[in-house]
Amino acid sequence: MKEWPLWEVFIRSQHGLAHKHVGSLHAADAEMAIKNARDLYTRRNEGVSIWVVKSADIAASSPGDKEALFDPANNKVYRHPTFYAVPEEVKHL
């Protein structure tokens, strides 16, 4: 028999925070994946909301693309507030 598909599990820990990836599990369908995620990843009040998505449906960047994707951000220091010298007399900036 074929294995049940693999699902990635995302949990939101409290209202106001984003869902965060916590791990994966096997389940026959989405409904079972949510039930299993409840038992597997929220046994100690870790969450108030669960997302599950089939692992096969996730598109991911590859390690080989790291430079092309992320290097351009490296030399744009002016995007950070610390790039700008603020005169000491000026407040609330």
Contact segment (CB under 8 A) with another protein among 11-19, 37-45, 69-77, 80-88 equals: 37-45
Select 14 or 26, whichever has its Cβ closest to another protein.
26
Select 39 or 88, whichever has its Cβ closest to another protein.
39
Q: Identity (one letter) of the amino acid at 50? A: I
Q: By the 8 A CB rule, do 25 and 44 touch?
A: no
3 binds another protein, rule: CB under 8 A: yes
Contact segment (CB under 8 A) with another protein among 11-19, 25-33, 73-81, 84-92 equals: 25-33
Shortest Cβ 14–another protein spacing (Å): 17
> Exposed, middle or buried, 32 (CB in 10 Å: 0-12/13-18/19+)?
middle
Closest listed residue to residue 57, CA positions, set 18, 30, 35: 30
